[in-house]
Amino acid sequence: MGKRASERNSELNAMTFGRSGPRLREQNKLEKRQRIRAAARELFSKHGYEVATLRQIAKRAHVGLGTLFNYVQDKRDLVFLIFNEELAAVTDEALTASQQHDSLIDQLIDIYRPHYHYFSKDPPLSRILLQELTFYSEGKQAATFHEIRERLISGIERVIRTAQNEQRIHTKEDPAIVARHIFFVCSGAIRWWIARLTPSPRDGLAELRRLLELDIKGLQPHPPIRVRRRPSSAALRSDSASHGDGNSARKLRPTGLS
């Protein structure tokens, strides 16, 4: 009985290890990823993007340089390893917030409010992200970043299409084009704002609202109001003299529908 029980325990241990082995590997990979993210954030913030090296980051994360390259292609890619997960959460919050208002401008402000608050928490690191995302198309983190960005633009497009269907805006332009235009305006506004010494979300959002109002309301002047002026006494006397009495006027009036 003792031998059989020992064999059975060995089999159970082997089965348990077989099931938990992949889970342990995934947990180890996740822990390494988090250590790399934390080390990169710390050293980029402390030394700057240009000065901090991948070797320093790997050492700070307690992983080999080869292990670091399993997660990122280069230092630029490492920036998005830091930000992608957080940007995805900010985008979720933004698209949910846009459903709280009917005004198109308020909806767009709701979409970008979480971004302003997020970037204002660490302006130096946010500047690195906004600098490096230009022409970012290759890298192990690129596909994730582009999916997040497309999800944001698609959310703006849905807001625009709804406003068109409800006739809150009158443009017949493709909502995808309008959404891309608004995305460009807002992205430029964020870059302009984050460059300040102490970027305030309140000030940044106030300026963004002005830009969006300019976009939505346009630059066209209001149609002129026509005011009917009363004819002068001289004009009335001249008109009376030229037409004579009523009988004379009836003789001169043309007939027909021309």
Show the domains of the chain with their CATH numbers: 28-71 (1.10.10.60), 74-218 (1.10.357.10)
Q: Is 52 exposed, middle or buried (0-12, 13-18, 19+ CB in 10 A)?
A: buried
Q: Is 17 exposed, middle or buried (0-12, 13-18, 19+ CB in 10 A)?
A: exposed
pLDDT score, position 223: 67
Helices and strands (H, E) in the chain, number of each type: 11, 0
Q: Span 16-44, mean pLDDT?
A: 85
pLDDT score, position 250: 45
Look at the block and give the residue holding tokens 């006494």: 233
Closest among 21, 94, 32 to 68, alpha carbons compared = 32
Q: Span 231-255, mean pLDDT?
A: 53
Q: Span 3-31, mean pLDDT?
A: 65
Closest among 134, 136, 148, 147 to 187, alpha carbons compared = 134
Q: Is the predicted pLDDT of residue 188 greater than 70, yes or no?
A: yes
Q: Is the predicted pLDDT of residue 189 greater than 50, yes or no?
A: yes
Q: How does DSSP classify residue 229?
A: P
pLDDT digits (tens, 9 = 90+) for 95-146: 999 888 889 999 999 999 999 999 999 999 999 999 999 899 999 999 999 9
pLDDT score, position 149: 97
Q: Hey, what's the torsion of the CAs at 165, 170, 173, 179, to 10 degrees? A: -70
Tokens standing for residue 223: 């149609």
Q: Is the predicted pLDDT of residue 227 greater than 50, yes or no?
A: yes
Distance CA 215, CA 105 (A): 10
pLDDT score, position 24: 87
pLDDT score, position 235: 57
pLDDT score, position 236: 56
Distance CA 84, CA 63 (A): 21
Distance CA 112, CA 159 (A): 13
Q: How does DSSP classify residue 257?
A: -
Closest among 113, 80, 77, 68 to 94, alpha carbons compared = 113
Q: How confident is the model at residue 251 (pLDDT cuts 50, 70, 90)?
A: very low
Distance CA 226, CA 154 (A): 43
Measured CA distances, 25 to 19, 29, 62 (Å) = 11, 6, 17
Show the beta-strand stretches assigned E in the chain: none
Look at the block and give the residue holding tokens 């409010």: 113
Q: What is the mean pLDDT of the chain?
A: 85
Distance CA 247, CA 252 (A): 9
Distance CA 240, CA 172 (A): 52
pLDDT score, position 254: 42
Q: How does DSSP classify residue 100?
A: G
